[in-house]
């Protein structure tokens, strides 16, 4: 099992081009199932989860040619030979649930292994299934598999009980080829949902309201093949902003659109430092110790739950006391006990963590538990004095392309060891 060996602290200096967004690439790859024509997607990040999704689509019979070194995926779903997303793939990547809507909509049937819970919570998919039933699907759970069938889905008014990103995406994809109009109320507003809607519209789907809480989709007969460039990864960008806030220094992040970062960007600016927008990038400079910043995670445009561990890492060495409330997932503080091993002072009470910023952390052996927790541990280790070893770094590789190479490029002392 691979680990990171990090020796800190080091100020960061240099520039990076931010990758395409994992959480836009995954649903857009699945949306290729909705057409029988050639699809070409660019700016695709070279990540484990993307490779897993390509493997899943190949298992279903989609012709996939991935050239991930150059960020390109070419797909053609004219010959789908299976309607099943098997357990051994779904258990490694919950986003596999995103084949459910497209398979059902275009092929009338889907069998998707129930994605189990994961480190950060139960993560049920009841909203996905309830909506598809309201659109005419017969859904049954047999031997841990979701089995959904529908001769033809029909449009309906779907009111989600809570805001769900992949739930909104699954319903949107299912509705594209359904008979009639679907209205999704309480829809997710994430930029990745909007990028999927943009991709579907370019294929001929009739979608409006994406980016708001009410999305309307008028079903069409079929969707054509197109080219599409994935938007930048706002979570990768914000992760590097937290790294420089913790370590100090100056970095330039290129190819980002600050308008798509919502309150996350506003909050990171409260850490102090200077953020100067230059062309399609941002120059971030932290000369002094960051200020403690309290925040609560919310659906977009609120502060992103996927950034909670990373800003908590900054708070561990910030000047002051901060209060962090995790309102999206019920168990997303797995990184706390690991940060304590680095000397952090964090008290947890339910979904609230109180961090007493220290002026230094000390290197230690820690263990990654999930994707964003591992990013938080990398940031805390970068600023800790001495050597840290982060075990189970495969979690990080799911959502960050070559994080070690990028950090070395910025002057950090990071080594990937087996
Ligand atoms: C997406 O997950 C992202 N993944 C997650 O990013 C992200 O943390 C999450 O949205 C929230 O922003 C992808 O886009 C591939 P949800 P998703 O459905 O769609 C509950 C990362 O690090 N819920 O918006 O699975 C659920 O338990 C990953 O890149 C139900 O109760 O999240 C959670 O508490 C981690 N029933 C809340 O809603 C449902 O049917 C939000 O979940 C669906 C969700």
Q: What is the average pLDDT across 271-293?
A: 96
Kindly state if the Cβ of 50 falls inside 6 Å of ligand 1. no
Phi, psi of 121 (to 5 degrees): 160, 175
Confidence band for 168, pLDDT divided at 50, 70 and 90:
very high
Confidence band for 117, pLDDT divided at 50, 70 and 90:
low
Confidence band for 135, pLDDT divided at 50, 70 and 90:
very high
Kindly state if the Cβ of 373 falls inside 6 Å of ligand 1. no
Give residue 413's pLDDT: 98
Q: What is the average pLDDT across 241-263?
A: 96
Residue 241 pLDDT greater than 90, yes or no: yes
Kindly state if the Cβ of 126 falls inside 6 Å of ligand 1. yes
Give residue 115's pLDDT: 82
Confidence band for 119, pLDDT divided at 50, 70 and 90:
confident
Kindly state if the Cβ of 308 falls inside 6 Å of ligand 1. no
Ramachandran assignment for 53, one of left (phi > 0), alpha (psi -120 to 50 degrees), beta (any other):
alpha
Q: Are 298 and 273 in contact (CB under 8 A)?
A: no
Q: Which atom of ligand 1 is the closest one to the Cα of 26?
A: 15
CA 130 to chain CA centroid, Å, is: 23
Give residue 398's pLDDT: 94
Task: Give the count of alpha carbons within 13 A of 81, CB side only.
Answer: 7
Phi, psi of 49 (to 5 degrees): -60, -35
Q: Evaluate the omega torsion of the peptide bond into residue 130 and state whether it is cis, within 30 degrees of 0.
A: no
What is the residue with the minimal CA distance to atom 6 of ligand 1?
A: 306
Tell me how far the alpha carbon of residue 331 lies from the centroid of ligand 1, in angstroms: 13
Q: Residue 417 burial by CB count (10 A; 0-12/13-18/19+): exposed, middle or buried?
A: exposed
Tell me how far the alpha carbon of residue 7 lies from the centroid of ligand 1, in angstroms: 34
User: For a pLDDT cut of 90, what percent of the chain falls above it?
Assistant: 93
Give residue 118's pLDDT: 75
pLDDT tens figures, 15-52: 999 999 999 999 999 999 999 999 999 999 999 999 99
Q: Evaluate the omega torsion of the peptide bond into residue 386 and state whether it is cis, within 30 degrees of 0.
A: no
Give residue 271's pLDDT: 97
Q: Does pTM top 0.85 for this prediction?
A: yes
Q: What is the average pLDDT across 61-74?
A: 97
Tell me how far the alpha carbon of residue 166 lies from the centroid of ligand 1, in angstroms: 7
Two structure tokens written together for 415 = 């080594």
Two structure tokens written together for 101 = 């809507």
Distance CA 266, CA 278 (A): 17
Average the pLDDT over each of 140-149, 171-180, 356-365, 376-385 and give the range with the smallest value.
140-149
pLDDT tens figures, 69-101: 999 999 999 999 999 998 888 888 999 999 999
Residue 142 pLDDT greater than 80, yes or no: yes
Confidence band for 122, pLDDT divided at 50, 70 and 90:
confident
Query: Coil, helix or strand for 392?
Result: coil
201-210 long-range contacts, Cβ below 8 Å, gap at least 24? 202/226, 202/228, 203/31, 203/34, 203/35, 203/176, 205/176, 207/172, 207/176, 210/172
Distance CA 347, CA 161 (A): 31
Q: Report the chain's mean pLDDT, rounded to a whole number.
A: 96
pLDDT tens figures, 319-346: 999 999 999 999 899 999 999 999 999 9
């Amino acid at each position: 099992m691979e680990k990171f060996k990090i020796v800190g602290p080091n100020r960061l200096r240099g520039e990076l081009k931010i990758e395409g967004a994992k959480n836009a690439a995954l649903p857009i790859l699945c949306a290729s199932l909705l057409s029988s024509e050639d699809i070409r997607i660019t700016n695709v990040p070279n990540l484990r989860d993307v490779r897993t999704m390509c493997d899943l689509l190949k298992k279903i019979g989609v012709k996939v040619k991935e050239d991930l070194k150059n960020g390109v995926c070419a797909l053609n779903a004219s010959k789908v030979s299976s309607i099943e997303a098997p357990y051994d793939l779904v258990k490694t990547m919950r986003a596999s649930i995103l084949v459910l809507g497209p398979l059902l909509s275009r092929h009338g049937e889907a069998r998707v292994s129930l994605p189990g819970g994961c480190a950060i919570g139960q993560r049920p998919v009841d909203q996905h299934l309830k909506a598809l039933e309201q659109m005419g699907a017969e859904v049954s759970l047999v031997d841990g598999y979701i089995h959904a069938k529908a001769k033809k889905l029909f449009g309906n008014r779907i009111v989600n009980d809570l805001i769900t990103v992949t739930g909104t995406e699954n319903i949107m994809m299912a509705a594209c080829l359904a008979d009639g109009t679907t209205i999704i109320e309480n829809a997710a507003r994430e930029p990745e949902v909007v990028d999927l809607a943009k991709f579907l519209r370019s294929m001929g789907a009739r979608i409006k309201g994406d980016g708001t809480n009410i999305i309307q989709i008028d079903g069409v007969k079929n969707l054509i093949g197109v080219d599409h460039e994935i938007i930048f990864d706002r979570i990768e960008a914000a992760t590097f902003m937290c790294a420089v806030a913790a370590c100090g220094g100056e970095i330039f992040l290129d190819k980002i659109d600050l308008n798509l970062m919502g309150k996350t960007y506003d909050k990171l600016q409260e850490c102090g430092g200077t953020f100067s927008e230059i062309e399609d990038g941002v120059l971030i400079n932290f000369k002094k110790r960051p200020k403690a910043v309290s925040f609560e995670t919310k659906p977009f445009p609120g502060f992103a739950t996927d950034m909670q561990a990373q800003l908590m890492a900054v708070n561990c060495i910030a000047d002051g006391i901060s209060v962090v409330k995790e309102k999206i997932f019920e168990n997303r503080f797995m990184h706390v006990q690991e940060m304590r091993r680095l000397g952090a002072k964090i008290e947890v009470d339910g979904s609230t963590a109180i961090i007493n910023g220290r002026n230094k952390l000390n290197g230690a052996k820690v263990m990654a538990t999930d994707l964003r927790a591992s990013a938080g541990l990398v940031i805390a280790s970068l600023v800790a004095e001495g050597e840290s070893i982060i075990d189970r770094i495969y979690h990080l590789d799911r959502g960050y392309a070559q994080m070690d190479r990028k950090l070395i490029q910025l002057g950090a002392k990071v080594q990937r060891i087996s």
